[in-house]
């Protein structure tokens, strides 16, 4: 099974954070070319991760670039105060993110909400599009009358291949060519390797959307290479594979037995000696042939997706327009 | 008020049928350059109207071209048998329509569902998009394996200006440039001048979608001139102005009193002597300043829009693919 | 047509306000036994109307009792600040209303949301039920641990006859017998005689819900006589008959011509000399036989019903629980 | 750990089938007092299980009574033909079920759809209520005019405790007392112990609904003891605990290694020697304290729940009314 270490996963890992955890758990040491910085405040854990070298990118299986992740376990409790705090913090980090990668205050933005209206855990993108404030048409139709403190923002939900018959990246490419935005912000629902990150985590990345990432069946990405403008990806894990629930739990069992000084080799057998990735391969080998490796989502997904969609829409409104801040942002979302 | 006859309306009239009725009611004679043929079967009245000359177009206020209208008053009764019959008849007329304007059996089709998901009477286009069978991706990804009897069909719901910040025609233009369809079929919800046509009438036209038509706030059209390919418009009136309910009713009252040999001039005063269009101007003058000329829709709109959306989707599936006919069409719609 | 004055309408008039206007417009004088008081503040017009005698009740065609009506034309503009103001004002008037009719601060409340989920203009009741804060189960399960400032509130949406096969009043009666509330608050969508009151008006009445009122097909009411406890009705007009749009507009035309010193008899003929009610009968005679007297609702009903449902739910939360006020009420509604 | 065998689970097991599997896997032998018969046709596996004695009931942890389970793995593939077949088969078994427990052809039925509209995997009951044909009001209002071949059917969705503040069983009790049905059919979403049974399995039981069963938070049941009339329960598992996914998978791994002649003790350690229930306890001990034992549902739940809701509604229509059969049943559901 040694080869697995070299080619660390056959499933796309959507969160850079999880890729790092997984690779480091295998090798037991930090990945060269990858830096990370963690801070925590108000129950919100923020990890800033940078993949600086090609070597780091290969090791991690993620593109070179910046990744900022907000983890908020409390989001599950449907606490509206906490939701407001997360929207504010997200806005702050997103604003800084835009600055750091050189997106100016008047750069024209196209927000792309990937995913499928009719599949609740995949509806995050369309929900954000519906709740975000668009202004481009005011700039087009009456440029002299737009109040200061706003920039031109447009937003589309291109649908999914099974509904449209067209790759969403092709639709976006056509719209970009006609409307000439300066930057794209693409929202997508992701798969997580950990059930507790589902609906509690937001990742911002300047790497675009890559084929095979997210929930849908993407064959082409949304990247600077394809579209000619920077693409910032905002992702929230809303689903998890049954297989990763299993391996995750085995890891937790291992930790549990270690804590109570159990002989984990005796209790868990060879399973104990595998690294997380080998274990996942094994579980997949068992589940896949009988169609049991389903993508699942928590029972309360309807409410979660609505809440986190509003957080992202509010956060985008506050970070994209100087005239909107976290005290008046609610007025701009439904 | 004579001028009004020359420039017969300030509100866009979406149904060619209604434009013809209105103009002829004013002049009392047929419009030169406009022909029409009416047939009726199974409770479905079909009017085939052709605007052949520029003169006819100016008189009618509608573009030169073919217009086919199906009127089915019984659709209000939610009779599923009748709905199936209408889908079959619509498919038949639509197929003939395609042939007559020279759209071949393998021409690639892009279906465009105009309108707003979140406004029920404006959701017809998106509902059709969601229910129609798309096949383009099979032709793109595995052209050798597509069964005979199908053509490449794609479908998009571009959203509305207030949600996207982009004119829907610009979005469609971008998608057309990238995906190169041979013909567009655009679905739109319309305004009617008559409450009884709402949700009971389907119009097919080879004239495209023109600025200001339909429910939304269109500033640019979807036409062959703009897009470079033919655009067939399918429209269903789902709303009516309060003002047209009033003038419609006065007309009905006039007929009523004439039938019972009443002195309509005495009963209805000067109102009686106006033509329909003058009357509408008058009513609008009264209602508009106080914001009373609302667009209204029947209370049961949720069910109606669902039913008629399914009829159109089924009809399109049967007419676009030889392999699908009216006996197996239900299998392809949700 | 003289008889009509004695039996002033064949259609149920849901708003007491409109009944009063109509009767007084016919007779030209105030109705004995009916008092009313109007105030206006912040764009909200409040009419407090009391039917004190049987004579007044017969003349008005409404039950003896108190009616408070809030009219807010601005609600159509989707201004969230105004919505908050209306919720606050509604809460204040509702609290006073409860006191005046002797409902104490600990009286147990059952909120009944009449109407049909699937028919948008009839969904007001179910929307309020879904958004209101319920507390009865805490009082039942852990009475010692309920914080002060709350009372026991429960809420049901009993559905409509066509879905359940049971009169909603029978369902409510069964629930009342088992759960023993002290008072019922019933929410219902109404029909208005005026398009501009649709979705802009809230009526509170201590008279219960009577057969034939509201949108649905009620054959039995929700009243103190039937249920044994007081029933407060909260109603919002969300639909209007096509016929009343017509007569309304004729009235407006009449006023218009009078203002510009036109000879209204000449212009409007005999129509001008009828009173509003005779005119409505006439219009109904014309429209009914051909099925044109539909109930219609503004095109934007989806958004309106959501907004006004939230206003009522917030207002109820603030007025029913001392611990909730208009500054923290948003935290309790979705 | 021996005690566990005697008291085989701390989590309610909703499917009798799964309880039987679990207990027999622990003991390795059939349960006295429990009989079962399995047949398979058209990809539909039907298990008829009867708990005949108190001893069997205790061993199984399920009430004495009849349980019929239809398992249709193919339901996941959204094949409309298969869905029709399942509706037909369900109707047939349900009809036989009614006969066997002595429910006559004119017995009045109240269908109760338990669960929460707003939580997709818990919305099965309300969806069935909305799609089933109700007739009771015709029997009440015009008994002489009801066509032969129908019985009186009513249907309610009582909501959930968190929305109404009232136990659904109390609401049902009130409605039963007022409307006097002869039998209740209660529809509920269940939890499964196996991910592959989710949305592919329908259980019919004559035992009613017991506290703690299903997804919601039931404290009182719907049983003949409480309501005075027989209660037939129809349940579909729509969710599964993360912990049962894990133990399920370990079982599959064990089988897998046994098949390939692996030394399962070596590979899986002590885990291998536990029975399924001990393993589940262990996993729960690890997951519960950190809040990881979520109820999850497949990503495609929106479509699945719609499909299976329609199957049950169609099946009930066909089995409850002689005049409706499997060829015309579609006309009665939406």
Q: Which of A95, A172, C78 is nearest to B166 (CA)?
A: A172
Do β-strands D295-298 and A231-241 pair in parallel, antiparallel, or remain unpaired?
Answer: unpaired
Considering only CB atoms, which chain C residues are within 8 Å of A80? 330-331
Between C127 and C251, whose confidence is greater? C127
- Residue A184's pLDDT band (boundaries 50, 70, 90)? very high
Q: Kindly tell me the burial class for residue C132, based on how many C-beta atoms sit within 10 Å of its own C-beta (0-12, 13-18, 19 or more).
A: buried
- CA–CA dist D88, D68 (Å, integer): 15
Task: Give residue-wise pLDDT tens across range C101-117.
Answer: 999 999 999 999 999 99
B257: enclosing H helix or E strand: helix B242-259
**CATH number for region C11-239+301-332:** 3.40.50.1450
Query: Does position C50 have pLDDT exceeding 90, yes or no?
Result: yes
- CA–CA dist B246, D106 (Å, integer): 51
Q: Test D296 with A295 for CB contact under 8 angstroms.
A: no
- Residue B2's pLDDT band (boundaries 50, 70, 90)? very low
Q: Residues B262-281: what's their mean pLDDT?
A: 77
- CB-based contact (8 Å) between B29 and chain D? no
Query: Does position B10 have pLDDT exceeding 60, yes or no?
Result: no
- CB-based contact (8 Å) between D271 and chain C? no
Residue among B80, B81, B331 whose CB faces D80 most closely? B331
**Cβ contact B199:B299 at 8 Å:** no
Task: Give residue-wise pLDDT tens across range A4-32.
Answer: 233 333 457 899 999 998 888 777 888 99
| The pLDDT of residue A326 | 65
Residue B98 tokens, joined: 């395609």
Helix/strand/coil (H, E, C) string of C248-292?
HHHHHHHHHHHHCCCCHHHHHHHHHHCCHHHHHHHHHHHHHHHCC
Q: Test C170 with D178 for CB contact under 8 angstroms.
A: yes
Task: Give residue-wise pLDDT tens across range B64-84.
Answer: 999 999 999 999 888 889 999
| The pLDDT of residue B9 | 36
Least confident range of A48-52, A214-218, A223-227, B299-303: A214-218
Considering only CB atoms, which chain A residues are within 8 Å of B219? 141
3-state class of C162 per DSSP?
A: helix
Token pair 């269903």 is found at: B236
Residue A201 tokens, joined: 């985590």
Q: Using CB atoms, which chains have 3+ pairs under 8 A with C?
A: A, B, D
Query: Does position B256 have pLDDT exceeding 50, yes or no?
Result: yes
> What percent of chain D has a predicted confidence (pLDDT) above 90?
61
Residue among B152, B161, B179 whose CB faces A137 most closely? B161
**Cβ contact B152:B139 at 8 Å:** yes
**Cβ contact B184:B129 at 8 Å:** no
Q: Kindly tell me the burial class for residue A332, based on how many C-beta atoms sit within 10 Å of its own C-beta (0-12, 13-18, 19 or more).
A: middle
Task: Give residue-wise pLDDT tens across range C6-26.
Answer: 333 345 789 999 999 888 877
Task: Give residue-wise pLDDT tens across range A71-81.
Answer: 999 998 888 89
**Nearest residue in B to D83, CA atom:** B331
Task: Give residue-wise pLDDT tens across range B216-249.
Answer: 666 788 999 999 999 999 999 999 988 888 888 8
- CA–CA dist A7, A9 (Å, integer): 6
Least confident range of A26-30, C124-128, C215-219, C316-320: C215-219
Query: Does position D290 have pLDDT exceeding 80, yes or no?
Result: no
| The pLDDT of residue C292 | 76
Vertex B284: Cα angle to C279 and C284 (nearest 5): 25
| The pLDDT of residue D115 | 95
Count the neighbouring beta carbons within 10 Å of the beta carbon of residue C334: 13
Least confident range of A144-148, A164-168, D64-68: A144-148
Query: Does position A264 have pLDDT exceeding 80, yes or no?
Result: no
Between D304 and C252, whose confidence is greater? D304
**Cβ contact C273:C265 at 8 Å:** yes
| The pLDDT of residue C293 | 82
- CA–CA dist C104, C213 (Å, integer): 28
| The pLDDT of residue A2 | 29
Q: Residues C121-147: what's their mean pLDDT?
A: 94
Q: Residues C138-162: what's their mean pLDDT?
A: 93
Query: Does position A129 have pLDDT exceeding 50, yes or no?
Result: yes
Residue D3 tokens, joined: 């005690």
**Cβ contact C256:B288 at 8 Å:** no
- Residue B151's pLDDT band (boundaries 50, 70, 90)? very high
D305: enclosing H helix or E strand: helix D301-320
- CB-based contact (8 Å) between A302 and chain D? yes
Task: Give residue-wise pLDDT tens across range D108-159.
Answer: 999 999 999 999 999 999 999 999 999 999 999 888 888 899 999 999 999 9
Using CB atoms and an 8 Å cut-off, which of residues 215-234 of chain A contact chain B? 219
Q: Residues D233-259: what's their mean pLDDT?
A: 87
Residue D215 φ/ψ, nearest 5 degrees: -80, -40
Vertex C18: Cα angle to C13 and C19 (nearest 5): 60
ipTM of the complex: 0.90
- CB-based contact (8 Å) between A327 and chain C? no
Between C216 and D231, whose confidence is greater? D231
Q: Residues D226-255: what's their mean pLDDT?
A: 90
**Cβ contact A116:A238 at 8 Å:** no
Mean pLDDT estimate for chain C: 88
A74-83, long-range: CB < 8 A, 24+ apart: A74/A43, A74/A200, A75/A199, A75/A200, A75/A304, A75/A307, A75/A308, A76/A199, A76/A200, A76/A300, A76/A304, A76/D291, A78/A303, A78/A307, A80/C330, A80/C331, A81/C331, A82/A42, A82/A43, A83/A307, A83/A310, A83/A311
| The pLDDT of residue A170 | 95
- CA–CA dist D155, D134 (Å, integer): 7
Token pair 């309108």 is found at: B115
Q: Residues D238-249: what's their mean pLDDT?
A: 89
Residue A232 φ/ψ, nearest 5 degrees: -95, 130
Q: Residues C158-163: what's their mean pLDDT?
A: 94
- In chain B, domain spans: 11-239+301-332, 245-290
- Residue D329's pLDDT band (boundaries 50, 70, 90)? low
pTM of the model: 0.92
Residue among B271, B296, B302 whose CB faces C120 most closely? B302
Do β-strands A201-205 and A65-71 pair in parallel, antiparallel, or remain unpaired?
Answer: antiparallel
Considering only CB atoms, which chain A residues are within 8 Å of D119? 299-300, 302-303
Task: Give residue-wise pLDDT tens across range B163-206.
Answer: 999 999 999 999 999 999 999 999 999 999 888 899 999 999 99
Considering only CB atoms, which chain D residues are within 8 Å of B330? 80
Using CB atoms and an 8 Å cut-off, which of residues 69-88 of chain D contact chain B? 80-81
- Greatest alpha-carbon span in chain D: 75
Mean pLDDT estimate for chain A: 88
Residue among C80, C81, C331 whose CB faces A80 most closely? C331
Q: What's the length of chain C?
A: 334
In A72-152, beta strands by DSSP E? 109-113
- Residue C197's pLDDT band (boundaries 50, 70, 90)? very high
**Nearest residue in B to D333, CA atom:** B80
């Amino acid at each position: 099974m040694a080869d697995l270490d070299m080619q660390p996963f056959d499933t796309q890992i959507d969160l850079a954070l999880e890729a790092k955890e997984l690779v480091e758990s295998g090798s037991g040491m930090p990945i060269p070319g990858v830096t990370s910085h963690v801070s925590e405040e108000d129950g919100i854990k923020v990890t800033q991760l940078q993949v600086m070298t090609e070597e780091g990118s290969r090791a991690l299986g993620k593109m070179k670039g910046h990744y900022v992740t907000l983890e908020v376990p409390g989001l599950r409790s449907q606490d509206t105060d906490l939701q407001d705090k997360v929207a504010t913090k997200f806005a702050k980090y997103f604003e800084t993110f835009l600055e750091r990668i050189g997106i100016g205050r008047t750069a024209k933005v196209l927000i792309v909400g990937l995913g499928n209206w009719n599949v609740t855990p995949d509806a995050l993108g369309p929900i954000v599009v519906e709740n975000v404030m668009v202004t481009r048409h005011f700039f087009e139709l009456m440029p002299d009358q737009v109040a200061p403190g706003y920039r031109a923002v447009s937003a589309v939900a291109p649908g999914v291949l099974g509904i449209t018959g067209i790759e969403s990246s092709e639709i976006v490419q056509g719209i970009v060519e006609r409307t000439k935005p300066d930057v794209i912000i693409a929202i997508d629902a992701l798969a997580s390797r950990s059930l507790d990150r589902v609906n509690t985590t937001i990742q911002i990345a300047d790497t675009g959307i890559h084929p095979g990432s997210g929930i849908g069946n993407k064959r082409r990405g949304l990247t600077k290479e394809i579209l000619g403008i920077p693409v910032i990806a905002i992702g929230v894990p809303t689903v998890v594979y049954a297989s990763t629930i299993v391996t995750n739990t085995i890891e937790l069992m291992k930790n549990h037995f270690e804590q109570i000084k159990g002989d984990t080799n005796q209790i868990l057998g060879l399973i104990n000696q595998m690294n997380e990735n080998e274990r996942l391969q094994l579980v997949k080998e068992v589940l896949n042939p009988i169609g049991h490796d389903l993508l699942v989502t928590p029972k309360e997904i309807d409410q979660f997706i609505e809440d986190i969609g509003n957080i992202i829409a509010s956060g985008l409104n506050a970070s994209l327009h100087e005239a909107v801040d976290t005290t008046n942002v609610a007025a701009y979302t439904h």
